[in-house]
Amino acid sequence: MPAQQLTTVAYTSLSDADLDALKTDGKVHLFNNIGCPFGHRALWTAAEVDAPLTVYEIGLYAEMPPSYVEKFNRYHTVPFLVHEGYPVYESAIVAQFLDAKYNGGKLHNRDSPERAALAQLAQAKFEAGPFYALLRNQDPAKKDELEAKIEAALGDLEKIYRDHAADFRADGPYLLGADLSSAEINIVPFLFRFKHVLSHYRDFDITKGFPLLTAAYEAAIARPAFKLTVRDPEYYINAYAKYANP
């Protein structure tokens, strides 16, 4: 069963002694940022598999506490997991780790190499760069070119859903039919943010013209675990303003 609630603590509310204890208390701690799509991969997975963890909300970039880098993650990134004293870095790895620990690896299709390979293909072909490029762009003359790059990238994903995953299309909206997989876990957090942010700032609808991706996206964001791990669209519109209007 998916989690019904998540326990979240502000990282900055903890003392140095509290922080040091997180490394040795034998519990599960996820350091994250609610606005970050990479962090969302891990947070959504944690909710789907009902992992018994506490979430520590971390600021990013200049707002990242020096103690976090010194004590926990020298890479200056989120998410970061401490699982009973064991450190796990990087979003896709944290998501896979939690799935393996608390869900038998079902989201990552541990027992089906073929299904796992298909999900990994979709994940590997997804690139966030074109979305950020359009959002950051301040030159109207480049808008069409940047939109075309996004459409090309999403068109390739649509083809994977349509052709590579053809055997699953009659079974449901996800890449693997009725079953949510690591493909959606790793891709939808980005689509969710840029669906709202690019529509607001650049008048561009990322899902238009991609019916299979749209179906998977809409099914994913309707899941209770997904809803538990996001804020309202306005939150992301405000959070991404610094990219759109530097």
The pTM of this model reads 0.96
Q: Label residues 135-173 b or e (16+ Cβ within 10 Å = b).
A: bebeeeeeeeebbeebbebbeebbebbeeebeebeeeeb
Domain locations in the chain? 7-103, 113-244
| Per-chain mean pLDDT for the chain | 97
pLDDT at 2 over 90: no
Q: Is the dihedral of CA 21, 27, 33, 36 positive or negative?
A: positive
pLDDT at 170 over 80: yes
Contact 35, 236 (CB under 8 A): yes
What tokens appear for 28 in the block?
A: 């599960």
Q: What is the mean pLDDT of residues 89-117?
A: 98
Give dist(CA 64, CA 18) in Å, integer: 17
The string of pLDDT tens digits covering residues 121-131 is: 999 999 999 99
The string of pLDDT tens digits covering residues 19-45 is: 999 999 999 999 999 999 999 999 999
pLDDT at 179 over 90: yes
Q: Is the dihedral of CA 141, 191, 242, 74 positive or negative?
A: negative
CATH code at 113-244: 1.20.1050.10
pLDDT at 176 over 90: yes
What tokens appear for 118 in the block?
A: 């298909």
CATH code at 7-103: 3.40.30.10
How would residue 1 be classed by pLDDT, with cut points 50, 70 and 90? Answer: confident
